[in-house]
Amino acid sequence: MSGPKHSCGVIGIVATHNIVPALQKTLMIIQHRGQESAGITIFDGNEFKFHKENGLVQDALRNSKIEKLNGNIGIGHVRYSTTGSKDVINAQPLIGKVRDGIEIAIAHNGDITNCEELKRKRTSEGGTFHSDSDSEVIMSIFAKHFQKNDIIHSLKHTASELDGSYALAILIDNRLFGVRDPYGLRPLCIGKLNDGFILASESTAIDALGGEFVRDVEPGEIVEVTKNKVIPYPNHNRRDRAYCMFEWVYFARPDSVLDEREVYDVRKRIGEILAKEHPADVDSIMPIPDSGRAHAIGFSIASGIPYEEGFMKNRFAERTFILPDQSEREKAVSSKMNPIKSTVNGKRIVIVDDSIVRGTTLIRLIAMLRKAGAREVHVRVGSPPVIAPCYYGVDMKSRDQFIANNNSIEDIRRIIDADSLGYISIEGLIEAIGKPKSDLCLGCVNAKYPTRIPKEVHRSQSTLID
């Protein structure tokens, strides 16, 4: 509920039937990854056709707007802007032409950390840009390296210039490719359909089409997806992994499987570890819906304290994190959440949330619970304190926005008016995810980054990078 803003989501489908309805359906399934804009691009046998707009999928891609689109290969995108403005010109997929009249469309999840450097370089080489999206920079670099008879060469050389995070679904005329950054910072997986294949940011999109999960795209891997097979082009220059821990903590749907770990299972395990690290003598455990629900279930199981629903969520209220300013987000909380008085009144409760960034939403929620008669309100958090910016596709850019950056845990407890406050430890989070520390990006909670960011500490060293 009070977690960070989402990154984006990508889909790519190739089959023998018209895949436009499938693109629409799967984008709705991964809508949680971006609510700002939605778009699809298909190859109709002769050329690209597309539609994209600001807004949710059900509005931007409603049937009446896409009924004239028809093709058996295409890509789709839902966007939350982290680089580039919210203007519809930055909505994706982005479409352009390279040499020999070849059309290309790109759907991108992530952030290119050397975007400005690359843009300056391409401009000096004669490149022009029509948006402020880093995805257009990727397209421009691909155009520079483009070789009609060796697309894989072109993609490999493009990837070699990019720093940061990227999961890409790329349409090049009638060919579909998936590309994942060498660290695996952003997820991308492959599914088998009855008559084709799908690339998706999350495995739930595969489930929605009745498909079969095949595997994750490996970090640094390029795959070409046809209606009959998947052709892999692995990365032989292996780097350390850096899977984003927030994908498991907050971003992904609980029913998704990311890099061999089910999200629901990880979140439940987080709650179990939280209960051991920060026990509480209370009457009931309650989640901040929806993202804190699995964490709270795990806490209840490990502690033996009953699980209760403490809030009713208005599912038709506007998503608070996409409102344009903080004051509007705060005002929207009361229209989105309402305490269930019968489970709160007179009770000592633990509320479990996935993360705390600013803390402003939690302040209002705790005040609601106290007004509804809660005797005590204790808070447990499923991620360690967020203290540092994310440079890889999460809208956490400035240290001064983090409540944990200049406050102790006791200070935060007083600010949010909780009776006690406990965060899962970094070691506990790593245990819950079930992957080695060296395979995770923990930059936002330990200020050590897997790529070289100016004025930040690389995780393999202890000094700032110039």
Q: Which residues are catalytic?
A: 8
CA 92 to each of CA 40, 264, 405: distance values in angstroms, whole numbers, following the listed order: 8, 29, 34
Partner residues linked to 51 by β-bridges: 40
Residue 384 has a CB neighbour count (10 Å cut-off) of 21
Give the whole-angstrom CA distance, residue 11 versus residue 188: 9
Longest dimension (CA), the chain: 73
Q: How many helices (H) and strands (E) does the chain have?
A: 16, 25
Give the SS3 label for residue 255. coil
Separation between Cα atoms, residue 366 and residue 379, nearest integer Å:
9
Task: Report residue 457: phi and psi, to 5°.
Answer: -95, 130
Amino acid at 161: E
- 73-79/9-14 β-pairing: antiparallel
Name every residue whose Cβ is closer than 8 Å to that of residue 372 and which is 6 or more positions away in sequence: 339, 341, 344, 345
- What does the DSSP 8-state code read for residue 14? E
CA atoms of 450 and 243, how far apart (whole Å): 10
Burial 116-136 (b: 16+ CB within 10 A, else e): eebbebbeeeebeeebbbbbb
Distance between CA 213 and CA 210 in Å, rounded? 10
Q: Angle, nearest 10°, between helix axes 263-277 and 293-303?
A: 50
- Whether the upstream peptide bond of residue 290 has omega within 30° of 0, thus cis, is yes
Place of tokens 């799908």: 198
Pairing of strands 103-109, 261-262: unpaired
Hey, is 254 helix, strand or coil? coil
Q: By the 8 A CB rule, do 337 and 309 touch?
A: no
